[in-house]
């Protein structure tokens, strides 16, 4: 156990806080789980500020909420407050584990917003407000984010039921053996759950655009006779440059962006609510659909969290297989991302097709081992589900040792010194790395700003401590560096692959209880890994049943969008497209 979590384990003042804040700590969430300190709601900002400034916890990784209405476990006996807001803090400077803070809130009460301490709380607090109805005092822009304004209720609350609601938990009784089976078509989804909030009139509703902040004055102060006016323009949602259904609400003057707000939720399916109905294992194929370019990493992140919670061992060979799959997947992702950054720059299709050529080979390998190219569903709690088929290892070794290095070299030759790419990318979309960290941005984005923070090194999971690889960094934090860092990272992945494929031992691939009857012990856990797009974390809370009590995905694509607005201000509309492309989002993960 790392230093930080060990500190958090002991109650009250042993968070490491100075004496004057000791009374802000009310106790621990639970005595025998990986623990969190419970903080008095009115002192949370003081505690966060102190932790950030004095103790070095500069990265607010995860902010979410749990609804404990009807919770049957022992751990919360005698606690009335229904909702609990959870903060997971990390230090990007010294690495290591997290410190977790909880704030208990009665229904309809407010919590001070953490945005003044960690600007990165912005999108996450809006999500908590949207899905749980917790109001954050002092949040600059507390609106619904994934759902529209006419949505009635807060869907992640335990008493909210979806349109096709059958039961709280799967398996549904209607399926077997004698029950009356019903097809979805026979149900009328709009018979219930289609009420509007009180005082809401759908006919007279118009989306407000006035909220787009003008964060920069029009740029013609020296020419006051020019009668210019800024206007609001929607980029998206239906536009190929947005990489899915995503909207950028911008205030522009001429072509210069004065302010930009990301608007999302078009692909929202309440993944987390589905996750609470599912058994632990059933969630595994659903994680494939989050960042659908990297199902292997998603599988691993979820398996990692559950294994941490239920204390499951993973056999040696399975660890190697996981590393191999995850690194192949990182190459796939970075190749894709490079291709589409170029696409967004206007180099239509050629660089993209060149970049994703080897992706086909890797997907073929995924298909041969797992049965599907993209929805791999390959990992289980305690290992992986299938061993390598005949001939797989040779093909993978050929790719890792010969074809991929060659292909990356070719991509390098094709693009890196290209003058147009440099002209469009150098200095565009700049944001200092301190700002990026404050905005909770993770992954290649901060490494392109010069900070060598990679969870594979900072808090090694799996067997990453055994491999010899570097964390490439680049100094400029602009689009060009965000392109080039991905190429460098893909090269490091190739290095890891070569070592893993050389060293992989024979043996078991699935140990522990990988089965569908898993009952995770009561408690909470936050497990995370370095996904290709950044820090992918799963926050899970269990009441000891066969379903998770809370299943939350901390998705890098979503939280990296915190930086989209600040990065785009002052640049042209055409640059905003590339700035978005260089964040590398997948809407399946943004909207969940």
Among 95, 357, 471, 476, binds another protein (CB under 8 A): 357
Q: Which is nearer to another protein, 142 or 372 (CB)?
A: 372
How much is the CA Rg of the chain, to the nearest whole Å? 24
CA 17 to chain centre: 29
For residue 494, what are its two tokens?
A: 């190739």
Smallest separation, CB 588 to another protein (Å) = 14
Closest CA to 551 of 587, 516, 592, 590: 592
Among 94, 350, 434, 452, binds another protein (CB under 8 A): 350
Asked whether the beta carbons of 153 and 130 are under 8 A apart, the reply is no
Strands 83-90, 25-28: parallel, antiparallel or unpaired by DSSP?
A: unpaired
Smallest separation, CB 410 to another protein (Å) = 6
Q: Which is nearer to another protein, 260 or 518 (CB)?
A: 518
Among 7, 26, 372, 573, binds another protein (CB under 8 A): 372
Q: Which is nearer to another protein, 143 or 173 (CB)?
A: 173
DSSP state of 202: T
Q: Which is nearer to another protein, 142 or 374 (CB)?
A: 374
Smallest separation, CB 328 to another protein (Å) = 13
Asked whether the beta carbons of 216 and 223 are under 8 A apart, the reply is no
Smallest separation, CB 409 to another protein (Å) = 10
Provide the mask over 272-311, with x wherever binding to another protein is found by CB under 8 A and - wherever it is not.
Answer: ------xx-xxxxxx-------------------------
Smallest separation, CB 170 to another protein (Å) = 6
Residue-by-residue DSSP string for 11-70: -GGGGT--GGGGGGEEEES-SSSS--EEE-GGGHHHHHHHHHHTS---EEEEEEEEE-TT
Among 31, 53, 255, 364, binds another protein (CB under 8 A): 364
Among 147, 368, 463, 573, binds another protein (CB under 8 A): 368
Q: In a 10 Å sphere around its CB, with 0-12 CB exposed, 13-18 middle and 19+ buried, how is residue 417 labelled?
A: exposed
Candidates 210-218, 235-243, 316-324, 370-378: pick the segment binding another protein (CB under 8 A).
370-378
Q: Which is nearer to another protein, 253 or 410 (CB)?
A: 410
Candidates 94-102, 395-403, 445-453, 554-562: pick the segment binding another protein (CB under 8 A).
395-403
Smallest separation, CB 252 to another protein (Å) = 31
Indicate whether 231 belongs to the interface with another protein (CB under 8 A).
no
Q: Which is nearer to another protein, 158 or 170 (CB)?
A: 170
For residue 56, what are its two tokens?
A: 């070095």
Q: Which is nearer to another protein, 240 or 371 (CB)?
A: 371
Give, as ranges, the residues between 118 and 147 that touch another protein (CB under 8 A): none
For residue 345, what are its two tokens?
A: 């720059």
List the strands of the sheet with 25-28, edge to edge.
Answer: 25-28, 37-39, 99-105, 83-90, 59-67
Candidates 12-20, 297-305, 307-315, 365-373: pick the segment binding another protein (CB under 8 A).
365-373
Distance between CA atoms of 97 and 458, rounded to whole angstroms?
A: 9
Name the packing angle between helices 316-344 and 357-370 (round to 10°).
150
Indicate whether 408 belongs to the interface with another protein (CB under 8 A).
no
Q: Which is nearer to another protein, 87 or 551 (CB)?
A: 551
Candidates 79-87, 317-325, 362-370, 430-438: pick the segment binding another protein (CB under 8 A).
362-370
Smallest separation, CB 520 to another protein (Å) = 17
Among 398, 426, 470, 508, binds another protein (CB under 8 A): 398
Judged by CB under 8 A, the number of residues near another protein is 55
Smallest separation, CB 193 to another protein (Å) = 19
Residue with structure tokens 């932790």? 51
For residue 206, what are its two tokens?
A: 């118009």
Question: CA end-to-end span of the chain, whole Å?
Answer: 31
Give, as ranges, the residues between 545 and 574 that touch another protein (CB under 8 A): none
Provide the mask over 410-439, with x wherever binding to another protein is found by CB under 8 A and - wherever it is not.
Answer: x--xxxxxxxxxx-----------------
Among 189, 346, 389, 507, binds another protein (CB under 8 A): 389
Q: Which residues contact 81 (CB under 8 A, 6 or more apart)?
A: 68, 104, 105, 106
Collapsed DSSP state (helix, strand, coil) of residue 132? helix
Indicate whether 390 belongs to the interface with another protein (CB under 8 A).
yes
Integer angstrom CA distances of residue 548 from 16, 173, 520, 572, 586:
31, 19, 8, 45, 25
Distance between CA atoms of 136 and 143, rounded to whole angstroms?
A: 11
DSSP-H helix ranges across 103-174? 121-132
Integer angstrom CA distances of residue 481 from 418, 439, 444, 490, 588:
13, 19, 9, 14, 25
Smallest separation, CB 497 to another protein (Å) = 15
Annotate 535-570 with b (16+ C-beta within 10 A) or e (fewer).
Answer: bbbbbbbbbeebbbbbbbbbbbbbbbbbbbbbbbbe
Give, as ranges, the residues between 174 and 193 that touch another protein (CB under 8 A): 174-178, 181, 183-185
Candidates 171-179, 225-233, 290-298, 482-490: pick the segment binding another protein (CB under 8 A).
171-179
Candidates 111-119, 167-175, 524-532, 583-591: pick the segment binding another protein (CB under 8 A).
167-175
DSSP bridge pairs for 259: 251
Smallest separation, CB 291 to another protein (Å) = 16
Among 93, 157, 239, 386, binds another protein (CB under 8 A): 386
Strands 379-380, 383-384: parallel, antiparallel or unpaired by DSSP?
A: antiparallel
Indicate whether 360 belongs to the interface with another protein (CB under 8 A).
yes
Smallest separation, CB 178 to another protein (Å) = 7
Interface with another protein (CB under 8 A): 170-172, 174-178, 181, 183-185, 278-279, 281-286, 350, 354, 357, 360-361, 364, 367-372, 375, 377, 385-386, 389-390, 395, 398-399, 403, 410, 413-422, 515-516
């Amino acid at each position: 156990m790392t230093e930080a979590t060990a500190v958090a384990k002991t109650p009250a003042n042993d968070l490491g806080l100075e004496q004057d804040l000791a009374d802000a700590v009310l106790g621990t969430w639970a005595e025998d789980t990986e623990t969190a300190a419970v903080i008095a709601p009115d002192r949370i900002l003081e505690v966060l500020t102190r932790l950030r400034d004095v103790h070095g916890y500069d990265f607010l990784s995860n902010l979410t909420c749990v609804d404990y209405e009807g919770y049957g476990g022992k751990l919360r006996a005698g606690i009335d407050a229904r909702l609990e807001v959870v903060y997971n803090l990390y230090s990007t400077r010294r690495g290591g584990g997290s410190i977790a803070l909880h704030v208990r809130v009665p229904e309809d009460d407010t919590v001070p917003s953490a945005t003044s301490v960690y600007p990165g709380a912005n999108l996450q607090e809006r999500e908590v407000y949207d899905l749980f109805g917790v109001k954050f005092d002092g949040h600059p822009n507390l609106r619904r984010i994934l759902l529209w304004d006419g949505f009635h209720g807060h869907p992640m609350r335990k008493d909210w039921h979806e349109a096709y609601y059958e039961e709280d938990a799967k398996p549904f009784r209607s399926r077997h053996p004698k029950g009356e089976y019903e097809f979805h078509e026979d149900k009328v989804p709009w018979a219930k759950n289609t009420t509007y909030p009180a005082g809401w009139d759908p006919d007279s509703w118009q989306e407000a655009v006035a909220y787009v902040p003008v964060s920069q004055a029009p740029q013609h102060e020296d020419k006051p006779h020019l009668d210019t006016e800024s206007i609001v323009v929607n980029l998206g949602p239906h536009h190929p440059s947005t990489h899915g259904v995503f909207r950028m609400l911008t205030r522009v003057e001429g072509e210069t962006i004065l302010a930009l707000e990301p608007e999302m939720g078009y692909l929202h399916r309440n993944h987390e609510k589905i996750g609470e109905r599912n058994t632990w294992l059933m969630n595994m194929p659903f994680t494939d659909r989050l960042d659908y370019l990297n199902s292997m990493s998603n599988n691993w992140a979820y398996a990692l969290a559950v294994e941490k919670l239920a204390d499951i061992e993973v056999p040696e060979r399975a660890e190697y297989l996981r590393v191999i799959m995850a690194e192949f997947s990182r190459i796939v992702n970075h190749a894709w991302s490079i291709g589409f950054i170029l696409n967004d720059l206007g180099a239509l299709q050629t660089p993209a097709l060149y970049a994703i050529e080897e992706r086909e080979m890797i997907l073929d390998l995924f298909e041969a081992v797992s049965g599907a190219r993209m929805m791999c569903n390959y990992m289980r709690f305690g290992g992986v589900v299938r061993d390598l088929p005949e001939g797989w290892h040779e093909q993978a070794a050929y790719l890792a040792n010969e074809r991929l290095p060659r292909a990356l070299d070719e991509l390098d030759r094709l693009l890196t010194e290209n003058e147009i790419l440099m002209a469009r990318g150098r200095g565009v979309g700049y944001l200092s790395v301190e700002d990026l960290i404050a905005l909770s941005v993770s992954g290649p984005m901060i490494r392109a700003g010069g900070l060598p923070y990679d969870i594979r090194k900072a808090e090694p999971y799996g067997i990453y401590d055994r491999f010899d690889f570097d964390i490439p960094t680049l100094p400029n934090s602009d689009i060009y560096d965000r392109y080039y860092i991905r190429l460098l990272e893909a090269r490091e992945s190739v290095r890891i692959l070569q070592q893993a494929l050389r060293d992989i031992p024979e043996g078991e691939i699935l140990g522990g209880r990988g089965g569908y009857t898993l009952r995770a012990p009561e408690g909470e856990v936050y497990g995370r890994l370095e996904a290709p797009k950044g820090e992918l974390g799963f926050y899970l809370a269990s009441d000891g049943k066969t379903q998770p009590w809370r299943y939350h995905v901390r998705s890098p694509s979503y939280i990296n969008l915190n930086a989209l607005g600040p990065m785009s201000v002052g640049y042209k509309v055409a640059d905003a497209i590339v700035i978005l492309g260089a964040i590398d989002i997948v809407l399946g993960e943004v909207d969940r």
